Structure 1
Amino acid sequence: MTGLRQQPAAPAAPATGLPRAPLVGYATGSVGMGIWVTVPGLLLLYFLTDVLAVPPWLAGLALLVPKVADVLLHPWIGHRSDLGYARHGDRRRLLLVGCALPVAFAVLFAVPGGLTGAPAAAWVAVAFVAGNLLFAAYQVPYLATPADLATGYHERTRLMAFRMVVLTLGILLSGLAAPLLTGGDTPTRDGYLRMGLLLGVGMLVTMLVGVAGIGRLRRSTATVPPTGGHGWPALLAALRDRQFRWLVAAYLAMSTTSHLVLAAVPYYAEYELGRPELTTVLVAAFVAPALLVTPLWLVVARRVGKQPALLAAQAAFAAGSLVLALGRPAGLPVLLAAVTVLGVSFAGMQLLPFSMLPDVIRAGGGPAGTYTGVWTATEATGAALGPYAYALCLAAGGFVASATGTTVDQPDSALTAIRYGFGLLPAACMIAALLLQRRYRLDTTARATG
């Protein structure tokens, strides 16, 4: 785009770090996003197959197709975010539009009582499209903020560490509360509706706090002036950025894997372990470690760099997944320990790539919104591919869908698919992520230049 007013160059970053209070406010905004990513990722596939009687292949398709639009929507949202930044000096307007996301979240689980099968899948798919658009409107400018601030290599990691801890708390609370609000061991339609409304209120409050926190961060430190490139030329420039491509490719594999694991948890708890109530325990074991280990990942990244730390997290995740493929014979304590290893690794895989993204943006010199739009499109694609891949595993194993209150005997092939889909498939995906991540070469330079 031409004719946009350029702001004067930003002054150097202050010697002191970003103030704590605005950091907490900024981080709080991620709670609402965490609920949107976690609860549908954890419950929506199960909601479709075991409450709404949608066949697995169709349920997976209902979750995949809405995400296809994100490939185009997120870069476009990034372009609009960059325009707003160039014209007004902030990204506030899109953030406020995104605060309507809780409405779409409630509608997603408010499927009318008479709908089952294909009509119910259509309802969920349409609501998911609307929610994904609103999610992008909030997520893209939110994640572009670290690149807008005139901070250094380690301070960007610190900013993301604050976000990760608060995000983890939101993921943990929503991941534990959502299954209980739906009815626990016997989820119902009314339970899902109740859950959508209550968590939607929490989303709205935290997202508004995040908008205020971003405003305070911008007032407390220098900002980077907007670049002149926007639209398709800027998008093509971002895609030509070799280091960005490798980081995005690795993150696609990581995002796919983590969302696959989340979607598989209810099935693994009910059909492999024989105890549906263990869903919340497995979610806690997967998410809770981040509250303790995120500061440790921050220390590791300061000592050895973000890239080596991320490679270690990916390798540990793959190893833990292979243990889960053993299933019930391994014993519940061993399986919980393996999920905890996944959780420790997951914390690193959330902190480190997100703190590497602004490093790439600053090195490439492109508009932050465009880069971030491609990044969030990648995350959305992984969020769709993960559950879809697991749904395909279920379909290949002959899994039988059912409605609320109906019990069916699953064939042995379906039980095998449930176990291996939760263990072997994530391990394979994470090994692919590790191999792709090794091609990323920017970290040493970014660390040296600060």
Structure 2
Amino acid sequence: MTSSQSVAGRGTLAVYASGSLGMGVWVTVPGLLLLYFLTDVLGVPASLAGLALLLPKVVDIVVHPLLGSRSDRQARRYGHRRRMMRTGLLLGVAMVAMFTVPPALTGPPAALWVAGWFVVGNLLFAGFQVPYLTTPSDLLVGYHERTRVFMFRMVLLTVGLLGAGIAAPALSAAGDRGDYTRMALLLATVMLVSAAVALVGVRRLTDVCGFRPPDERAGHSTLADLRVAWRDRNFRALVLSYLFTGTTTHLFLAALPYVTEYVFGNSRLTALFMGLFLGPALFAGPLWTAWSRRIGKQRGLLLSQGVFAAGSLALLAGAALDGTPGVAVTAVVVMVMGVAFSGLQLFAFSMVPDAVAAAEVAGSSKAGAYTGVWTATEATGTAVGPYVYSAILALGGFVSSTAGEHVAQSGTALTALRVGFTVVPAVLVGVALWFQRRYTLDDAW
């Protein structure tokens, strides 16, 4: 497989990748705090809170493929995909509204408010995300240059994840509703600036590397586009693997505030652990990129999955220890898992354009459709992860509360909390690894 070997400068790639800062905020804050916000601030039962986060994602599953096909149509008509990306400029509004629940609302009504704004935010996010992530598939670049483009994106995404992962729990640590509103306002500003700069970055990147519009068959029928994407054996394996990987990582995020509060008795450790989880990823991304030139993306992804699964089981040791020793062991394990997380994201996302390029050679290039399926899968994982954890909490008898209250949990609830944070993620990543081993496209490059 051959393609033009255009190479973008670091400045161009950095401007393009800046869009990932805002994406990192949107992915992190709801995934990290929304379940806890519902159960421990708004008094929503764990089972209902999980549904409030899961059901809005059903809309995403339908909408993302539709947006993928629409993005292909716009790319053919206008020669770019930036029109739909402008929805990202409004994403901050949904963020603020989602965490600004009227004082009179608690329990189920509060869950309905949050879920409604979560739907709005997800729709705005999808309108930005689908064309933004499809851009590398449109470029006239080669196999390793695609990894380089995504490496820059992953570094900036990690900065967004890291900044939001530390700032959001720190700003809302007091647990008052007003603290959550102020946190959302600050981070909404970051998302607005990020989306605006990304619009410039996409234009610059396509000007430098060239733009390959989708073929005439793409975008006319969403169902036809979906059939083409799903029949691609390698892409299907990659998607199913990432579904379980995404479910795992978002379960980890959703579980972290519960672990720091109920296992270690200090909610401020959430910001510390998020920093330790995402900090190493800033340095691991370039190292993974360099290593992929020697071992390939497939082997790098399998290794990352294996390390993350082993780390999940190793967290059992930290959760079993009291006080400082438990925190120290957990901190070390979380750092190792952060390095693996960087590989999980970098390799998986950079392999999507490889699948698109292979489909183009086979005469069926539909980049928007592939990306629509991919982002729908990612959205599903972001919802299923917290839902699985909320279901585990509910089965263990976890008791919800409102802001300012502290409820003593039963031994069964604490056991469920620990198992959901350790054993369950290890099993889920094991399934992801099983699917990923069926991917063979790396052999063709």
Offset of 1:13 from its aligned partner?
Answer: 2.3
Offset of 1:97 from its aligned partner?
Answer: 2.1
Match of 1:179 in 2: 169
Match of 1:313 in 2: 304
Match of 2:417 in 1: 418
Offset of 1:14 from its aligned partner?
Answer: 4.3
Structure 1 counterpart SS, 2:409: coil
Structure 2 counterpart SS, 1:325: helix
Between the aligned partners of 2:214 and 2:110, the Cα distance in structure 1 is: 44
Aligned counterpart for 1:265 among listed residues 240, 256, 266: 256
Between the aligned partners of 2:91 and 2:411, the Cα distance in structure 1 is: 40
Offset of 1:141 from its aligned partner?
Answer: 0.2
Deviation string for 1:350-399 (max 9, x for gaps)? 10010000000111122111100000000000000000000011001100
Tell me which amino acid in the other structure corresponds to 2:51. Answer: L
Match of 1:154 in 2: 144
Structure 2 counterpart SS, 1:378: helix
Offset of 1:96 from its aligned partner?
Answer: 0.8
Tell me which amino acid in the other structure corresponds to 2:407. Answer: V
Match of 2:440 in 1: 441
Tell me which amino acid in the other structure corresponds to 1:269. Answer: T
Please tell me whether residue 98 in structure 1 is matched to residue 83 in structure 2. no
Deviation string for 1:155-179 (max 9, x for gaps)? 0000000011111011101111111
CA contact (8 A) 2:3 2:142 kept: no
Please tell me whether residue 200 in structure 1 is matched to residue 200 in structure 2. no
Between the aligned partners of 1:424 and 1:104, the Cα distance in structure 2 is: 34
Q: What residue ranges of structure 2 are gaps of 5+ in the alignment?
A: none
Match of 2:428 in 1: 429
Aligned counterpart for 2:8 among listed residues 18, 31, 38: 18
Offset of 1:319 from its aligned partner?
Answer: 0.4
Counterparts in 2 of 1:110 and 1:427: CA distance versus 1, 3 Å: same
What TM-score comes out, normalization by structure 2 length? Answer: 0.96
Deviation string for 1:232-282 (max 9, x for gaps)? 212211111111100000000000000000000000011111211111111
Tell me which amino acid in the other structure corresponds to 1:76. Answer: L
CA contact (8 A) 1:106 1:200 kept: yes
Q: What residue ranges of structure 1 are gaps of 5+ in the alignment?
A: 1-10
Between the aligned partners of 1:335 and 1:190, the Cα distance in structure 2 is: 31
What TM-score comes out, normalization by structure 1 length? Answer: 0.95
Tell me which amino acid in the other structure corresponds to 1:362. Answer: A
Match of 2:385 in 1: 386
Match of 1:255 in 2: 246
> What is the 5 A alignment of 1:46-445?
46-182=36-172, 184=173, 186-229=174-217, 230=219, 231=221, 232-326=223-317, 327-329=319-321, 331-365=326-360, 366-445=365-444
Between the aligned partners of 2:138 and 2:108, the Cα distance in structure 1 is: 44
Judge which range, 27-36 or 321-330, deviates more.
Answer: 321-330
Between the aligned partners of 2:155 and 2:210, the Cα distance in structure 1 is: 25
Between the aligned partners of 1:214 and 1:351, the Cα distance in structure 2 is: 19
Tell me which amino acid in the other structure corresponds to 1:371. Answer: Y
Match of 2:30 in 1: 40
Tell me which amino acid in the other structure corresponds to 1:426. Answer: P
Judge which range, 323-332 or 188-197, deviates more.
Answer: 323-332
Structure 2 counterpart SS, 1:138: helix
Structure 1 counterpart SS, 2:101: coil
Tell me which amino acid in the other structure corresponds to 1:252. Answer: L
Offset of 1:98 from its aligned partner?
Answer: 2.8
CA contact (8 A) 1:309 1:348 kept: yes
Offset of 1:220 from its aligned partner?
Answer: 1.1
Between the aligned partners of 1:276 and 1:221, the Cα distance in structure 2 is: 46
Between the aligned partners of 1:28 and 1:250, the Cα distance in structure 2 is: 27
Tell me which amino acid in the other structure corresponds to 1:289. Answer: P
Offset of 1:440 from its aligned partner?
Answer: 0.4
Tell me which amino acid in the other structure corresponds to 2:187. Answer: L
Between the aligned partners of 2:19 and 2:254, the Cα distance in structure 1 is: 24
Between the aligned partners of 2:259 and 2:120, the Cα distance in structure 1 is: 30
Offset of 1:442 from its aligned partner?
Answer: 0.5
CA contact (8 A) 1:12 1:222 kept: no
CA contact (8 A) 1:161 1:294 kept: yes
Structure 2 counterpart SS, 1:69: helix
Offset of 1:335 from its aligned partner?
Answer: 1.3
CA contact (8 A) 2:170 2:268 kept: no
Deviation string for 1:275-332 (max 9, x for gaps)? 1111111111111111111111001111100000100000000000001123142732
Between the aligned partners of 1:175 and 1:291, the Cα distance in structure 2 is: 14
Deviation string for 1:110-137 (max 9, x for gaps)? 1111100000000011001111111100
Deviation string for 1:88-113 (max 9, x for gaps)? 00011100123211111111111111
Aligned length: 433
CA contact (8 A) 2:87 2:125 kept: no
Report % sequence identity. Answer: 53
Between the aligned partners of 1:99 and 1:353, the Cα distance in structure 2 is: 27
Between the aligned partners of 1:376 and 1:12, the Cα distance in structure 2 is: 25
Between the aligned partners of 1:379 and 1:226, the Cα distance in structure 2 is: 23
When the two chains are superposed, the root-mean-square deviation of aligned CA atoms in Å is 1.2
Tell me which amino acid in the other structure corresponds to 2:417. Answer: I
